[in-house]
A and B are shown apart, each in its own frame.
Chain A
């Protein structure tokens, strides 16, 4: 192996050719265009919305408007309520998400360890996964009362079963020869789990977590609709009951922002992982 030629070919050229400059320029333009279009759509939508209510094309009382939302936000912030509601919902979502992640990894490990168990449980998992979980929420209230417990269980129930199925399938997709390799090095089944299955499934785990954080939020809001005294879900239900649709729409927008923030958190974790592995 001639190392000197190899490193030479990998070295960046000191002077960049005009073709390369043109390519970089094109690349930059493309991404600028995408970012610009995204923001334009958002701004145009907000402007049209505002305009439509100002010109009474639609009734601001029912459809709210960006200016009404801003006023509502200021009011909520002044009353010092917004932060409480947001943090309650966030805390519940995080807790559900963490429990979903831990429970689904543990279940997947059990299923991987005993294929028989996996096959026995599979139809139940499939049914539970396709069941609309909001249908269960009234039961949770009766069983667990109207409190955080119900809300967290609701959050878990929405994400858990799909998460188990995804992670277990990720485990199964690991190359069988990589498993054999561990046995050829005189390893045990525990070694296979530690050295191949878990590290090999990190990408699957991260992409499942991305889905789960969103689903946990959905579950938590469903729970809050039914049984909460605080939280954004409660705010939405309260707003609709007292016909303060500004409040409802403001809460929904905050939920959008939270969902986006949570997604970005996991995506950041994913980038971090890819960079270091």
Chain B
């Protein structure tokens, strides 16, 4: 993917962001610059509180950078911000809605409850084994199923770029591998761009094409590590068996620790 002349989807240039409170200014991000390439899977790792989530909220345009800019370059040359899908750490499925009405929430908000969109939702529900749970309440589902439902809710809007803010961290290890496997597969299959925030270095190595290491607060780009593993299918499980895995792990560990 990256090897064949990567196209830049977005470029962050000298982006800085601070939080302001009466007790003072807390710089969260300082002078961040990097490119996001089309169809790549980018992972962002770094110590707690280094501004990883802030970075995603800037890319999602939930907040505006205080300094610097985020440039957008579309393949069709149009100046149009890519459609962003954002998956939060917790699923936040609403208990007063059925699973079906939860996964179609985004479509409802965007007035896109057209047949083709609903057919896509239908297909995703089928694919993730949630079809028979469509009329259930979120509390009747397991953690993994809930997170899959949250994924469908995000994907229903057909975003160009997926932002994943530690969406697996609340899951147990086994579910985590299977859900992250699902997401990976889908992202690769549909050729979407994705940015994953994670604390789990193995997860980052096993999923991502590139890993950005952020420093302690205020977050700066410490290092960008391209990952290439000698495995046929880059699934989270298979990647962990690659010979290079351990070297990447040690390299990352050293970067974060120093």
Contact = CB atoms under 8 A, between A and B. Distances in A.
| A, B in one complex | yes
Contact of B129 (A1, A175, A202): A1
B157 A186 contact: yes
Given A185-B109, A186-B157, A178 B145 contact: no
A175 B92 contact: yes
B110 interface: yes
Interface in A169-188: 175, 177-178, 180-187
Interface string B187-207: 000000000000000000000
Nearest to B106: A185
A277 interface: yes
B246 to A, nearest CB: 31
A183 B62 contact: yes
Contacts of A26: none
Contacts of A199: 94, 96-97
A11 to B, nearest CB: 15
A262 to B, nearest CB: 26
A266 interface: no
Contacts of A177: 88, 90, 92
B230 interface: no
Interface string B99-121: 00000011011100000000000
A191 interface: yes
A199 B157 CA distance: 23
A181 B153 CA distance: 11
Chain B contact patch, size range = 20 to 34
Contacts of A202: 96
Given A184-B86, A184-B88, A185-B157, A195 B109 contact: yes
A187 B153 CA distance: 13
B92 A185 contact: no
A3 B96 contact: no
A196 interface: yes
Given A1-B142, A186-B109, A202-B96, A180 B129 contact: no
Contacts of A187: 109
The winner among B105, B142, B145 for most chain A CB atoms within 10 A is B105
A141 B105 CA distance: 51
A277 B95 contact: yes
Nearest to B62: A183
B72 interface: no
A180 B87 CA distance: 11
Interface string B154-171: 100100000000000000
A200 to B, nearest CB: 8
B81 to A, nearest CB: 11
A41 B84 CA distance: 65
A186 B95 contact: no
A186 B144 contact: no
A185 B62 contact: no
B129 A181 contact: no
Interface of A: 1, 3, 175, 177-178, 180-187, 191, 195-196, 199-200, 202, 277
30 contacts: A1-B129, A1-B142, A1-B144, A3-B132, A175-B92, A177-B88, A177-B90, A177-B92, A178-B92, A178-B94, A180-B62, A180-B88, A183-B62, A184-B60, A184-B84, A184-B85, A184-B86, A185-B157, A186-B109, A186-B157, A187-B109, A191-B109, A195-B94, A195-B105, A195-B108, A195-B109, A199-B94, A199-B96, A277-B96, A277-B137
